[in-house]
Amino acid sequence: MAAEPAPGFTAADLFGKAVADKWVAQSSSSTVNNTYFPILLANGDNSCEAGPLDVTTNYSQEYLYCGAAIKTDSGTLLSAFGVTNLIHVDSITVAFSNTSQPSMSITGHQHYVNLHTTGTENVYDWSAALTDTGGVGIPTLGLNYTLTVGGTVTAITDLSLTFTTTHTDVLGSTGNHWAGIDTNGILTLSASGIGLYSDITVGNLWTEDDNDTSDSNTAFDTWSLTAHKYIART
C-alpha cells in the first residue's frame, strides 16, 4: 500500500521575526501579481498581449508573542520601518487584548525588477509608542503616546497600533518597476472598552478621529476610540 502524502504543515516566517525574537509565526501568504497589456481586434477578440510586466509579490504574516519585552524583541521592525528580510513592509499592526497574547500583523510587497532594498527607502521609527511588556492584557503606552480613560467603572479591553506610510512606485521605460518611495508615516490607535467614561485623553500630538459610546439594557455599556499621529522619518 502506498503511504499517505506529506503536504506542508508549517507557518513560514516571511519577515524573519520568529522564534529568536519570541514572535511565533502563525500564518503567512504570498500572492504573485502579473500585469498584462492586451490589444483587441475590431471584433473584440484578442490580437496580442504584452507581459507580464511589473511582476509584484504581496505578502502577509501573522505572529503571536510569547515574551515579556515586546518593544525590544520587535527590533528594527519598529525602529527602522522600511525593508525587512528583502520585503518592503507596507503596514504593521500590534494588537493587545484582555483575552489573548499580543499579536502582530504585517503586510508587504516586493518587485521582480529593481527590488526595494535597505538603504534606498525612507526609514521611520515608531518604537517609542510601545513599552517592554508581554502577556494577556492592555499595556501602558510609551511617552507622548498615552491613553487615559476616565470614569468610575471603565476598562480597556482591546488596543491596537497600526503604522503605515504612503508608498509610491513608478514604472521605468520598459514598463517594469523602476523606483519607489515612502512618505507620510502615520500611526493609528484603536481602542475599545467596557463602561461609560467621563473623558478619554490621548497623548501629545494625537488627533482624535472617532469617539463612540453605546449603552443597552441587555449588555454592559461600551466605548471605542480611534486617533492618529504623524511620525517623521529618521
Residues ≥6 apart with Cβ < 8 Å to 79: 125, 127
Residue 19 has pLDDT above 60, yes or no: no
**CB distance 104 to 93 below 8 Å:** yes
- Owning domain of residue 216: 23-35+51-231
**Cα R_g (the chain), whole angstroms:** 22
Structure letter (DSSP) for residue 67 = S
Is 2 part of a structural domain of the chain? no
Is 160 part of a structural domain of the chain? yes
Is 170 part of a structural domain of the chain? yes
Alpha helices in the chain (DSSP H): 70-74, 76-79
- Please write the tens of the pLDDT for every residue from 154-168: 788 999 999 999 999
Q: Please tell me the total count of domains within the chain.
A: 1
Mean pLDDT, the chain, whole residue set:
88
| Mean pLDDT value of segment 185-189 | 95
| Nearest alpha-carbon partner for 130 in 79, 66, 61 | 79
Is 11 part of a structural domain of the chain? no
In angstroms, the CA 212 to CA 175 distance is 47
Query: The C-alpha cell of 89 is what?
Result: 513592509
The pLDDT value given to residue 158: 94
The pLDDT value given to residue 136: 93
Residue 192 has pLDDT above 80, yes or no: yes
- Please write the tens of the pLDDT for every residue from 49-64: 888 889 999 999 999 9
In angstroms, the CA 98 to CA 158 distance is 7
Which carries the bigger pLDDT value, residue 182 or residue 17? 182
- Please write the tens of the pLDDT for every residue from 86-131: 999 999 999 999 999 999 999 999 999 999 998 777 889 999 999 9
In angstroms, the CA 23 to CA 206 distance is 28
Is 29 part of a structural domain of the chain? yes
Residue 222 has pLDDT above 80, yes or no: yes
Residue 213 has pLDDT above 90, yes or no: no
Is 4 part of a structural domain of the chain? no
| Mean pLDDT value of segment 206-220 | 82
The pLDDT value given to residue 186: 96
Is 205 part of a structural domain of the chain? yes
Is 42 part of a structural domain of the chain? no
